[in-house]
Structure 1
Amino acid sequence: MSSSSTSTPTITSLATPKQVHSAVNMVLDTAYQGIDAAAWKALFSEARASKLEQFIADMFAGKHINQSEDRPALHSALRNLSKTPVLIDGQDVMPAVTQVWQRIEALCNQWVGVTDVIHIGIGGSDFGPRLAIEALAHVPGIQSRGMRMHFLANIDTAELGRILATAKPHSTRVIIVSKSFTTLETTMNAKAIVAWLKESGCTQSQIAHTLYAVTANVAGAKAFGVEQDQIFPFWDWVGGRYSVWSAVGLPIALQYGFAAFEDFLAGAHAMDLHFQHAPLEENLPVIMALTLLYQQEQHDIKAYAAIPYADALDWFPKWLQQLDMESNGKSVGRDGKPVKHSSPVVFGSAGSNAQHSYFQLFHQGTEIIPIDFIAVRQPMSDRPEAVAHHRILLSNCLAQAQALANGKDAENPNDIYPGKRPSNLLLLPELNAFYLGALLALYENRAATLGALWNINSFDQPGVEYGKVLAKPIEKALASHQITIQASADIDAVTAARINLFNS
């Protein structure tokens, strides 16, 4: 394949083979990527040369593909509704996973009279369930228990204050989600919630009845005051950003019923089976990964956008940012050597709102920014005007892709659209729990594919730790209220001056 950064894609017709693919009733159209048959052949050869098929098999077999942490990346087991044995070091994990499903279903039947649920967690403990709760709230006719579902992630007390202004302490339940049960933001917010419950007149036994935990550190949760039978396990072979399929997704089942949670898992499981067994040439996660790789190799792209033409999916790009950039935002490969490519910057928001924001850059900016247009066939409301509105929404989605691909000539330079801007169209038949699960699993498997193609470990995140270490001496210096902080081994001169500025 050419690595030239000056060539431009030739936009081919929809009739060209290998441009429209489907899986799990979802359709992927790559016609506007500008990839011809010869380039596709080279891409699939490159994928096979990277031993992608073996990597996929190893991932689902529970091999220790997370080399730096010497553990599997087996979040697919959390949605393995077929209960086919999944072995880690010779031990089947499915009985433990099944037991958690049973406990989640039982809890759904136990909660009566709950008005508020406060889900405390950050990063992967927050984005997935928050996205699902928001997206499914828009499904016409969905059965909901109508609880106020609050997500508390930020250490900024503005979020805490907003939640506590409306929550009713005596009918609130609290879910503390932390794999290690040592995450600073989560533990501090949990302590603040317990203090609020005490201030509101809740007894110690009532508080114990209120608290639930999802964690791998059962001892830590018990020490905090969570009862043993209200702790849901988390395993070290599940990365935080891949954890919504575990008990981290409790809010989904509690709000919309266990059947909806099962549908969510079923959609993801169906996509996993496709990813695991489909030939590379028909494999949606692989094809999507290869379109991005192609644009990197041809145009050295540094960013891409995900634009869902569904307001219910407005949180999807935020979830995707963590998935892609935390998984693959690395400069060193699995072999310890520098890599040629890694994750581009990911951004996006719901269309058609996004058209009135940054689409100017897409059409006439100097950078080529590939786009994933995500559309849903069916309207997301049962309003009388829903069909007409949805038709306009979809026409905007299709028009933007066409304009970006084909461009427009004009005598006035300001009116020229260069065109040849690549995009995918991903079409969901409808948006419900099943297809939401399939969508998220599609992108999870694409992220893993990209990691394999780039020779990157997609399942660790060492880059997020250093700043946490540095924050500790800085917080201590801020707490001192001194305006004479000097530079040290832990605090450089610029930061010392800024601490003094805050303390003055």
Structure 2
Amino acid sequence: MPSNPAADRLKSLFSAQDIVLDSAYQGIDAAGWKSLFSQAKASKLEQFIADLFAGKPVNNSENRPALHSALRNLDKTPVLVNGKDIMPEVAQVWHRMEALCNSWVGVTDVIHIGIGGSDFGPRLAIEALAHVPGIESRGMRMHFLANIDTADLNRILQRALPNSTRVIIVSKSFTTLETTMNAKAVVKWLKDHGRTDSQISHALYAVTANVPAAEAFGVNKDNIYPFWDWVGGRYSVWSAVGLPIALQYGFENFKQFLAGAQAMDQHFKSAPLEENLPVIMALSLLYQQEKYNIKSYAVIPYADALDWFPKWLQQLDMESNGKSVDRDGKPVKFSCPVVFGSSGSNAQHSYFQLLHQGTEVIPIDFIAIREPMSHLPEAKAHHRILLSNCLAQAQALANGKKTDNPNNTYPGKRPSNLLILPKLNAYYLGALLALYENRTAALGALWNINSFDQPGVELGKVLAKPIEAALKNGGTVLADAGIDEVTAARINLLNS
């Protein structure tokens, strides 16, 4: 039977909440998709999705649920953890955040102190929404302090006004080294500029699961917003961790951010596998792993407002699924590829040479936005060029070009997705982030990996303590410190 291009084209188009996914350049035919969906069903993906939203302990290593979806459950449909509905507590935090937004006056600077999941999500949202045409903003300077390097601290303190600065300290445990040290430095800066203990306590806010530690640090109890152990840090922007979003752009925009994510959750939860955007994206990446044994993939948003999106996604994907063993402790065949990317068309002038003619096949997610991100007179013309570059790169990667000159030959067959957002605003930003969160969870289920723990980050933290002590003590390494000869020599080199 002859192929029907129009019918084949329709089979490559999917949508949810007005976000369109075009998978035409994935190179997966009808038989391939049928096999992939059978594989998903054999992996009990549907049951995993149901368990995820039902609050089952899908984080099996820590015996916890992963209920970030509850943080954007604006309908307040009951969600049970150990038989208790957690939604009243979540709703109470929303009310407190809204009240704070309404009373937030006279603030020129906000210093948000956190690292990893306490930093990437709110930083991405603040940067992305700043470019939304016509969005209302309080005009505060929003500073994100994550790195322990004092260069970052110094840059912020040189700009902030101590008498009108507020500080938000974000740490689930309130013991994160980088966060607590930076917080102490900012408090010292406030004291050095004549702020009293009472004034400092009024200026400090905390988002944490360890309320006693925040109080002991000097944060007024009324300024502490709770965090729960069923929320992973990299999934936490939907909680009070996202407070900067509400403070900068208003609580209504924060609610729209949650609403977009909730809508994508409902799609992930209820859509058949064959129409489910997060599942289809997960399966297409799995297909490229099985076909090409890919080691990396790129995400290229053709929107400068989303330049932070690949950095956020790096943590989401690689901290969630960068594992070598599955839920049963057995070696895995596949896990998370390396994630990289940056905004197009800048990326074309950086590493696209490798994508087109390198020896490795690297799948790409292209992200495009229908509407331009400014009201400038040049906006439409510039946006046409931006979109034409996005489409052209995808076509060139897929089809390639044969010439008699090997240097000018493009092999083609480089797979890609195209995601199209109607516009970029708080709602569609929330939907986009939730789409990738759910895709990451689906991939974990397909690989039989626990996407909700991250034990691999702990060893380096443990080793850093005796190394820091040795650096402090002039290079003296204690015999039982667990420091090897190479590291001991490097300590001496740094101290010389």
Name the TM-score class by shorter chain: over 0.9
SS in 1 for 2:11: coil
1:491 equivalenced with 2:451 (yes/no): no
Map 1:400-415; keep pairs closer than 5 Å.
400-415=393-408
- Structure 2 equivalent of residue 4 of structure 1: none
Q: Identity of counterpart residues, as a percentage?
A: 80
Shift of 1:485: 4.2
Equivalent-residue separation in structure 2 for 1:140 and 1:273 (angstroms) = 28
> Which residue in 2 is equivalent to 1:364?
357
* Offset from partner CA, 1:411-449 (integer Å, 9 cap, x none): 111000000000000000000000000000000000000
Is residue 267–residue 433 contact of structure 1 (8 Å, CA) maintained in 2?
yes
Shift of residue 134, structure 1, vs aligned partner: 0.1
Q: 1:459 aligns with which of 452, 462, 468?
A: 452
In 1, Cα distance between equivalents of 2:4 and 2:222: 59
Contact 1:147 1:255 (C-alpha < 8 Å) held by counterparts: yes
Residue from 416, 419, 425 that aligns with 1:426: 419
- Out of 164, 174, 182, the residue aligned to residue 171 of structure 1 is 164
Kindly indicate whether the alpha-carbon contact (under 8 Å) linking 2:466 and 2:481 is maintained by their aligned counterparts in 1.
Answer: no
* Secondary structure of the structure 2 residue equivalent to 1:182: coil
Aligned residue type for 2:485: A
- C-alpha distance in structure 2 between counterparts of 1:372 and 1:217, whole Å: 38
Aligned residue for 2:467?
474
> Matches of 1:283 and 1:440 in 2, distance apart?
15
Q: Which amino acid aligns with 1:494?
A: V
Aligned pairs for 1:320-469 (under 5 A) are 320-469=313-462
CA–CA separation in structure 2 for the residues paired with 1:257 and 1:485: 52
Query: What is the Cα deviation at residue 14 of structure 1?
Result: 6.5
Please give the alpha-carbon distance, in whole angstroms, between the structure 1 residues aligned to 2:449 and 2:108.
44
3-state SS, counterpart of residue 119 of structure 1: strand
Q: For structure 1, which runs of at least 5 residues remain unmatched after alignment?
A: 1-10
The residue type paired with residue 153 of structure 1 is A
Deviations 1:349-381 (A, max 9, x none): 000000000000000000000000000000000
Among 41, 49, 61, the residue aligned to 2:54? 61
Task: Judge conservation of contact 1:12–1:34 (CA < 8 Å) in 2.
Answer: no
- Report the counterpart of residue 297 of structure 2 in structure 1: 304
**Is residue 112–residue 170 contact of structure 2 (8 Å, CA) maintained in 1?**
yes
CA distance in 2, matches of 1:500, 1:458: 39
Distance 2:339 2:414 in 1: 16
In 2, Cα distance between the equivalents of 1:288 and 1:18? 14
Structure 2 residue runs without a partner (length 5+): none
Matched letter for residue 113 of structure 1: G
Q: 1:236 aligns with which of 229, 237, 244?
A: 229
**Rounded Cα–Cα distance in structure 1 between residues aligned with 2:377 and 2:413:** 38
Spell out the pairing of 1:4-23 with structure 2 (5 A cutoff): 15-16=7-8, 17-23=10-16
Task: Tell me how far 1:18 sits from its aligned partner.
Answer: 2.2
- Cα pair 2:36 2:287 within 8 Å, conserved: yes
* C-alpha contact (below 8 Å) 2:68/2:232 kept by paired residues: yes
* Secondary structure at the counterpart of residue 67 of structure 1: coil
2:107 paired residue among 114, 119, 122: 114
Please name the residue that 1:283 is paired with. 276
Q: Do the aligned partners of 2:477 and 2:483 also contact (CA within 8 Å) in 1?
A: no
One-letter amino acid of the structure 1 residue matched with residue 487 of structure 2: T
Contact kept in structure 2, 1:303 and 1:344, CA below 8 Å: yes
Distance 1:137 1:54, change over 3 A: same
State whether structure 2 residue 132 is matched by structure 1 residue 128: no
Report what 1:269 is aligned to.
262
Kindly provide the amino acid, as one letter, of the partner of residue 194 in structure 2: G
The 8 Å contact of residues 86 and 92 in structure 1, kept in 2 or not, is answered as: yes
Report whether the alignment pairs 1:82 with 2:75: yes
Residue identity matched to 1:495: T
Cα distance in 1, alignment partners of residues 58 and 477 from structure 2: 45
Mark the CA change 1:387 to 1:93 in structure 2 (over 3 Å): closer, same or farther: same
Q: TM-score, normalised by structure 2?
A: 0.98
Distance 1:390 1:259 in 2: 28
Please say if residues 332 and 338 of structure 1, whose CA atoms lie closer than 8 Å, have aligned partners that are also in contact. yes
Change (3 A) 1:14 1:412: farther
Deviation at 1:90, TM superposition (A): 1.1
Moved over 6 A (4+): none
| Residues in 1 aligned to 2:64 and 2:5: alpha-carbon distance in whole angstroms | 45
Tell me, in whole angstroms, the C-alpha distance in 1 between the residues paired with 2:11 and 2:458. 42
Q: List per-residue Cα deviations over 1:31-82 (Å, max 9, x = no partner).
A: 0000000010000000000000000000000001101111100000000011
- Match for residue 500 of structure 1 among 489, 492, 495: 492
What is the root-mean-square deviation of aligned Cα atoms in Å? Answer: 1.2
| 1:217 corresponds to which of 210, 213, 216 | 210
Any conservation in 2 of the 1:374–1:426 contact (CA below 8 Å)? Answer: yes
Q: How far apart, CA to CA, are the structure 1 residues paired with 2:61 and 2:280?
A: 27
Give the C-alpha shift of residue 488 in structure 1.
Answer: 5.3
Native 8 Å contact 1:12 1:32 kept in 2:
no
Taking the aligned partners of 2:145 and 2:129, their CA distance within structure 1 comes to 19
TM-score by length of 1: 0.97
Q: Distance in 2 between matches of 1:64 and 1:95?
A: 21
In the TM superposition, what whole-angstrom CA distance separates every residue of 1:19-42 from its partner, at most 9, and x where no partner exists?
100000000000000000001000
